[in-house]
Structure 1
Amino acid sequence: MAGLSDLGRYSEPALYVLISLAEGPKHGYAMQDDIGALTGTRPGPGTLYGAVRRLEEHGYIEALPEQDRRKPYRLTDTGRAALTAELRRIEHLAGTGLRRLAVA
């Protein structure tokens, strides 16, 4: 599996989208609100839908049928595995950094 690192500089917005969708399907506006609550900064539509497009291309998320003129998305099994791997990588990195700070 490739992982989010394939998205290069676009990996952070993609990570936020995956985290948002981890609790269930959402449409774009709901993802913007959720990401804003998580990070303190609500992504603009260009950033959000650019990440959504790339995630769809990689098979990490998929669109669901429209509901009231809104297009919801959900996490795929591949996306769930990629998110899990990325969060574990970040957890390891943060743990190492914190241990090193404690020694310094």
Structure 2
Amino acid sequence: MVDLSSLGRFSEPALLIMISLAGGPAHGYAIQRDITEMTSERPGPGTLYGAIRRLEEHGYIEALPAIERRKPYQLTASGREALGVELRRMRSMAVRGLNRLGLA
């Protein structure tokens, strides 16, 4: 079973990074900018790169060869699977909550 909670305090930033990378490879600054567009909040470098490191350790993302001084990352197959599982879980919870509120 895939469980992003194993990423500890980096689980939410990790989810956002993975959503960003679902659109294709990107380097840290591009990921940070994409997350800011999605959430209106800019993750700090420590949070961003801490989550990137954890995602790499779990095999959910991998670094690609550097382009100039920028190091791009991409989702791995297991990262795509983990992201799909987590997003489906979140959708199920959202639908249930909206139904209970009478908003669905």
TM-score by length of 1: 0.95
What does residue 28 of structure 1 align with?
Answer: 28
Partner Cα separation in structure 1 for residue 45 and residue 5 of structure 2: 22
Corresponding position: 1:64 with 2:77: no
TM-score by length of 2: 0.95
**SS, match of residue 62 in structure 2:** strand
Query: How many residues are aligned here?
Result: 103
Runs of 4+ in 1 over 4 A off after TM superposition: none
Offset, 1:10: 1.9
**SS, match of residue 87 in structure 1:** helix
Unpaired stretches in structure 1, ≥5 consecutive residues = none
Cα deviation code 1:24-49 (max 9, x no counterpart): 00000000000000010111110100
Q: Tell me the percent identity.
A: 66
Unpaired stretches in structure 2, ≥5 consecutive residues = none
RMSD (Å) for aligned C-alpha atoms? 1.1
Answer with 6-15 or 64-73: which moved more: 6-15
